Structure 1
Amino acid sequence: MNVVLGDLPTWNLGDLYSSPTGTDLGADLKRAASEADAFSKDYEGRLAGLDGKGLGGAIARLETMSDLLGRIGSYAQLYSAQDQSDPERNRFAQDISEKLNDIGSKLLFFRLEINKIEDADLAEKLKAPELAKYAPWLRDARLFRPHQLSDELEKFQHDQSVVGSSAWSRLFDETIARLRYPFRNEMLSEPQILDKLSNKDATVRKEAAKSFGKVQGDNIAIFSLITNTLIKDKEIDDRWRRYARPQSFRNLANVVEDEVVDALAESVKAAYPKLAHRYYKLKAKWFGVETMPYWDRNAPLPEHDDRTIPWPEAEKIVLDAYNAFSPELADVGRKFFGTGWIDAPARPGKSPGAFAHPTVPSAHPYLLLNYQGKVRDVMTLAHELGHGVHQVLAAKQGPLMADTPLTLAETASVFGEMLTFQSLLKTAPDKATRKAMLAGKVEDMLNTVVRQIAFYDFESRLHMARREGELTPDAIGEIWMAVQKESLGPAFTFDDEYKYYWSYIGHFIHSPFYVYAYAFGDCLVNSLYAAYQAKPDGFQEKYLDMLRSGGVKRHKELLAPFGLDASDPAFWDRGLDVISGFIDELEKL
């Protein structure tokens, strides 16, 4: 037990499997392999000839297998995330990944054949109720029809991925988990050193920033090689699949039109001056300077609420905020506490940052945090719990349709944060605390909206530049510095080592162009929250319905009950106006 933070919960992975060597896991792996064999024997080459009822039955079998395979894969990922510096855990996760890949290759034919069925033929089959229930899944699976390769190439690519992009991603994860950053007389992990960048002592921030930059710089050759290789790998895949541009695959997977994402990115970039530039100029003034060094970006204000919040208090703050909005939402949230669904302590080797892993509908989600008792950590708990609650509510859509597109996957998390923030703001004892809280919220929103769109812009430029040839670490650093200066504005000075700061951001490696989903979610929630404040009656039920629908509906259908439309540029401006309004209030304070 941590004396200051209280008893921090850790995962009980026993809800999935007893252990990596357990007979239950062995039996499930064997069952998954034999069911995949039987499935391919029954259906390969025969899908087009099935009637609607038969095809519905086949998808139902696939769904059951998806849950089983997802359970095995989730267990391996979570077991490895507990300590990524443990070679035995990494070996186990890789071993499971390869076994699942082999089983998956036997099922690959199914999506390929589904996509060969003509539209008119499928429409006829969809008249059968057994198939009609899977209509949303079929709609999304068939989005990729124009980009499908030959069956043989698809199978080759599937088999090869474990030694291709997945292997490079693994190298990145293990490198980051292994690195240690000297700080005074300690050697810190990545989450621990980055945590120092929001320390209230300026010398601590500076030393941490310099140490982090130096270690990333010392390892920049390997990060540049991983990045160059993965971008080239993606470019080859995009070319073969005839995607119009590097972002197209991500947008299609997110079930969002290119022009909606373009409208978001353009709105945010146009708002850089009235958001980030204006706020950081104000912050420099509070600090009594013209310009700030880059390590003061997340520096707490002198009035900052720097108390340490023990875990039981954090739990109460978040659940109370959820409960004030909707008791049903809070009831789902309570399931996560005291049940082994959350892993909270920061430990060496543990996966950095925070995430909510949905696992599979037959189990439950798991949340990972690196909780260190700051107000920001309470907001992270509110955020990840939002994901978890969303995943629990959507689970009834089943393994194939529970997943929400990334653009809407951030909705419940950011909304949960907003509820928690507004609840904390109401209890602010005085003007100074209110100012510090508003400033903290504005900084979080700038980190979510401006910073993530700047990341998206960085990736966009990087992917285009890589098409001209391999990029040196300096060339990548130049693109990074240009984007950072444009987005953060003239209030900052950047030392030389800042050019290496792109190299720790895992999203660039694991899911190119994912980052705009955060900005999408934040602006969307700002618009939603404004709708809630304007017309609270009946809002909760509509909101819960939206979460329950998982991946069944598109963003247009989901937002229509609230009178919102993401394809309208004014929609994004409304979301950005919420941030601007907070900055207005800070200027007055």
Structure 2
Amino acid sequence: MEQIMNQNWDLASLYPDETMSNKLIEFRNELDMKVETLSEDLKHLNRSSGIITLSKLVEIIQRTQYVQNGSEEFDDLLICIYAQNTNNTEVIGLLDHSTVIKTKLQSFQLELNLTLGNLSDDLWAELLCLTEIEPISFFLLECRNKGKNQLPLKMERLINSLSINGIKGWEQQHEQMLTQLRIPLKMDGETKDVSIGQALNEAIYSKNHDAALAIKQICEKNADLFASVLNRIAGFRLTIYEQRGWDNLLKELCLQNRIMDETLHTMITSIKQHKELIQSYIQRKIELSEIKNPSWYDLESPYFTVAVKVPYSDAVSLIIEQFQTFSDSLGKFAEEAFEANWIETENRPGKAEGGFCASLPLSKQSRIFLTYRQNYQDVITIAHELGHAYHNYILHNEPAFAQQKGTSLAETASTFMENLVVDAVIKQSTSKEEKLALLEMKISNGLKYVGTIPNMFKFEQEFYEKRKTNIVTTEEINTLISKVENELYDGLIEDLAVHKWMYISHFYNAEKAFYNIPYTIGYLFSNGIYEKLKKSDNGLEQLDELLRSSGRMTVEQLAERYLGEDATKATFWDSSLQPLKDAIEEYLYLTEDIKINK
């Protein structure tokens, strides 16, 4: 690939026959009509003298899968359009329409769940014997179980309808508030209003105390508004749980991520048992930095840095090369993704912050979004998102219902590819300073999953418990954050990021409960896979089969089938923590003489 500074993705090729705007409106109308027709046909089927025609039910199921894929493609495409230009007001209205379509589809899904739940055992067994149903039998069984346990259909439909202007409306409100939040920073001799993401990047990577102070001041000014939104989202969710008779706060989380409560708690316990190692790394960073009163951004700021910048062309070559070391076909996939312009990397104003991979199942493609700033962290981000794209590539050839995977399993391929690249870069490092910088990056990323996220999970659980009885004030929210952060850092960090609950969007997700912790599950589960398969002669074949089954099995079933492990036991999670432990121990060893000399 020729030397280039950045890359812009190609969205227009997805719909070449008409303007994007007209096609999106046409797409919206088509989806809306198909959902309405599906709903009417299912109602008619259920009114057919109490006798379900199996062939008609199968036909409805097949049509539903097309609409499912269409809704996902429509929504992800709109997110891409908005992310590349947050000043695009037209797309905001279409995103509202997408929410309405998804809500209608969810209401239809409730009726399908009830229909499957009401099938006689004989008819259900007959349905499962059909060839076209076998690949989606796992998903349909989940639907059947939901149908047997859901509220009366009218109540579930009412919840869905109210959610448009309720929990989903509040989620969109938070997104707009966060996008519009501006932090005044002095840059290049003048004061500029930057996004929260840009300010955080400045505080962490430029070690800019003024940026951290400005973030704190703006957050304090707006905290009450954000607290109000968070309370409404939690209140809406808790009301639904109460109506359904769910006493366990984590029931929805476990169902969505296809993991048992027992497994989740075993994982958390395993992480807690390695708390001292995490703290030893933090202590070493503080000793090296010689900071008397360390703040949250000091912890996240790298002490060691790689002096050279990584041009985008070099990042592309590095990723393709490392993917090829695992498999020629994996390397070819990465090369084709770059050449087909699936990736948006340009560093320019007006873009959204962060990175993501959009799945476009009807087009059988993906699109990757980030802002590339010529550092190794961004190289790793591209590898991570390409992992998501590869997972999509495997699943896009499966029926829509077999593509539905929990967030934790969705992180499997992404973390795997991330590990491939970061381990290779560390191994190839030519100096101690560079190796330490890369080790620090790997450790910092790992600590997000086994330190920050479990901490936020604990905060969120305690917040929801308090919200059961009353509105939780801004002061109380900040106190909860301080409490769990101090438990992790054990007094090592004095100036905590007590307002992080405002800008971590996962807290405000309307569809996915306790959306932070699935990333920890996925990170550790993928580490377990990585340690097993990187030594295997047919590692890619095994990985492909696991990814293909990610929409058909639970976490426990995948671990047993493809890894020969019992995910309910601590030994599995302990071994999954080993790569991070090894990195921390190597870091401590390599920095011992530096600490002594200081």
* TM class by smaller structure: over 0.9
> How far off is 1:377 after superposition?
0.9
Q: Which residue of 1 aligns with 2:281?
A: 279
> How far off is 1:453 after superposition?
0.6
Q: Which residue of 2 aligns with 1:194?
A: 200
Give a deviation string over 1:325-367, Cα, whole Å, max 9, x none. Answer: 1112222222321324222234444332111121324431221
Greater mean alpha carbon deviation, residues 305-314 or residues 117-126: 117-126
Q: Which residue of 2 aligns with 1:225?
A: 228
Q: Is the 8 A contact 1:308 1:373 kept in 2?
A: yes
Residues 136 and 432 of structure 1: is their aligned pair in 2 closer, same or farther, counting only changes over 3 Å? Answer: same
Q: Is the 8 A contact 1:181 1:212 kept in 2?
A: yes
Supply the distance in 2 between the matched residues of 1:5 and 1:349 (Cα, whole angstroms): 21
Greater mean alpha carbon deviation, residues 254-263 or residues 538-547: 538-547
Q: Which residue of 1 aligns with 2:474?
A: 473
Give a deviation string over 1:72-131, Cα, whole Å, max 9, x none. Answer: 333333222333344333123213433554566456522332232244541233223233
Q: Is the 8 A contact 1:53 1:131 kept in 2?
A: no
Supply the distance in 1 between the matched residues of 2:43 and 2:343 (Cα, whole angstroms): 41
Supply the distance in 1 between the matched residues of 2:297 and 2:149 (Cα, whole angstroms): 44
Q: Which residue of 2 aligns with 1:581?
A: 582
**Is the aligned partner of 1:241 residue 2:241?**
no
- Aligned AA (1:49): I
1:121-270 correspondence runs (5 A): 121-184=123-186, 185-200=191-206, 202=207, 204=208, 206-270=209-273
Local SS of the residue matching 1:213: helix
Residues 460 and 118 of structure 1: is their aligned pair in 2 closer, same or farther, counting only changes over 3 Å? Answer: farther
- Aligned AA (2:197): P
Q: Is the 8 A contact 2:12 2:20 kept in 1?
A: no
Supply the distance in 1 between the matched residues of 2:349 and 2:113 (Cα, whole angstroms): 41
> How far off is 1:373 after superposition?
1.5
> How far off is 1:233 after superposition?
0.5
Give a deviation string over 1:21-77, Cα, whole Å, max 9, x none. Answer: 31x334434433443344334332525733544432221121122233333333333
Supply the distance in 2 between the matched residues of 1:96 and 1:372 (Cα, whole angstroms): 32
Supply the distance in 1 between the matched residues of 2:476 and 2:372 (Cα, whole angstroms): 36
> How far off is 1:281 after superposition?
0.4
Greater mean alpha carbon deviation, residues 53-62 or residues 377-386: 53-62
> How far off is 1:493 after superposition?
1.3
Q: Is the 8 A contact 1:397 1:550 kept in 2?
A: no
- Aligned AA (2:203): L
Q: Is the 8 A contact 1:438 1:586 kept in 2?
A: yes
Greater mean alpha carbon deviation, residues 93-102 or residues 145-154: 93-102
Residues 227 and 161 of structure 1: is their aligned pair in 2 closer, same or farther, counting only changes over 3 Å? Answer: same
1:52-71 correspondence runs (5 A): 52-71=54-73
Q: Which residue of 2 aligns with 1:312?
A: 313
Supply the distance in 2 between the matched residues of 1:137 and 1:339 (Cα, whole angstroms): 33
Q: Which residue of 1 aligns with 2:416?
A: 415
Q: Which residue of 2 aligns with 1:300?
A: 302
- Aligned AA (1:546): L
Q: What is the RMSD of the two structures over their aligned residues, measured on CA atoms? A: 2.3
Residues 117 and 315 of structure 1: is their aligned pair in 2 closer, same or farther, counting only changes over 3 Å? Answer: same
> How far off is 1:419 after superposition?
0.3
Supply the distance in 2 between the matched residues of 1:351 and 1:93 (Cα, whole angstroms): 15
Greater mean alpha carbon deviation, residues 105-114 or residues 58-67: 105-114
Local SS of the residue matching 2:193: strand
Supply the distance in 2 between the matched residues of 1:176 and 1:308 (Cα, whole angstroms): 30
Give a deviation string over 1:434-484, Cα, whole Å, max 9, x none. Answer: 122112211111112211111111111111111121111000000001111
Structure 1 counterpart of 2:117, from 86, 92, 115: 115
> How far off is 1:555 after superposition?
2.2
Greater mean alpha carbon deviation, residues 35-44 or residues 148-157: 35-44
**Is the aligned partner of 1:338 residue 2:344?**
no
1:78-93 correspondence runs (5 A): 78-93=80-95
> How far off is 1:246 after superposition?
1.9
Local SS of the residue matching 2:371: strand
Local SS of the residue matching 1:470: coil
Residues 274 and 467 of structure 1: is their aligned pair in 2 closer, same or farther, counting only changes over 3 Å? Answer: same
Supply the distance in 2 between the matched residues of 1:91 and 1:125 (Cα, whole angstroms): 40
Local SS of the residue matching 2:577: helix
Q: Which residue of 2 aligns with 1:43?
A: 42
Q: Is the 8 A contact 2:384 2:418 kept in 1?
A: yes
Greater mean alpha carbon deviation, residues 482-491 or residues 127-136: 127-136
Supply the distance in 2 between the matched residues of 1:74 and 1:283 (Cα, whole angstroms): 40
Greater mean alpha carbon deviation, residues 382-391 or residues 426-435: 426-435
> How far off is 1:291 after superposition?
5.3
Q: Is the 8 A contact 2:70 2:362 kept in 1?
A: no
Supply the distance in 1 between the matched residues of 2:132 and 2:399 (Cα, whole angstroms): 14
Supply the distance in 1 between the matched residues of 2:224 and 2:88 (Cα, whole angstroms): 24
Supply the distance in 1 between the matched residues of 2:389 and 2:246 (Cα, whole angstroms): 33
Residues 118 and 285 of structure 1: is their aligned pair in 2 closer, same or farther, counting only changes over 3 Å? Answer: farther
- Aligned AA (1:238): Y
Q: Is the 8 A contact 1:298 1:443 kept in 2?
A: yes
Structure 1: stretches of 5+ with no match in the other structure: none
Q: Is the 8 A contact 1:380 1:417 kept in 2?
A: yes
Q: Is the 8 A contact 1:428 1:434 kept in 2?
A: yes
> How far off is 1:9 after superposition?
1.8
Greater mean alpha carbon deviation, residues 459-468 or residues 47-56: 47-56
Supply the distance in 1 between the matched residues of 2:8 and 2:79 (Cα, whole angstroms): 19
Local SS of the residue matching 1:330: helix
Residues 113 and 564 of structure 1: is their aligned pair in 2 closer, same or farther, counting only changes over 3 Å? Answer: same
Q: Which residue of 1 aligns with 2:5?
A: 6
**Is the aligned partner of 1:364 residue 2:370?**
no
Equivalent residues, number: 577
TM (norm. structure 2) is: 0.91
Local SS of the residue matching 1:207: helix
TM (norm. structure 1) is: 0.92
Supply the distance in 2 between the matched residues of 1:300 and 1:107 (Cα, whole angstroms): 47
> How far off is 1:558 after superposition?
2.2
Residues 529 and 104 of structure 1: is their aligned pair in 2 closer, same or farther, counting only changes over 3 Å? Answer: closer
Supply the distance in 1 between the matched residues of 2:271 and 2:487 (Cα, whole angstroms): 12
Structure 2: stretches of 5+ with no match in the other structure: 591-598
- Aligned AA (2:412): T
Q: Is the 8 A contact 1:384 1:413 kept in 2?
A: yes
> How far off is 1:376 after superposition?
0.8
Supply the distance in 2 between the matched residues of 1:441 and 1:268 (Cα, whole angstroms): 17
1:544-559 correspondence runs (5 A): 544-559=544-559
Q: Is the 8 A contact 1:52 1:126 kept in 2?
A: no
1:383-532 correspondence runs (5 A): 383-494=384-495, 498-510=497-509, 511-532=512-533
Supply the distance in 2 between the matched residues of 1:238 and 1:13 (Cα, whole angstroms): 42
- Aligned AA (1:55): L
Supply the distance in 1 between the matched residues of 2:177 and 2:482 (Cα, whole angstroms): 23
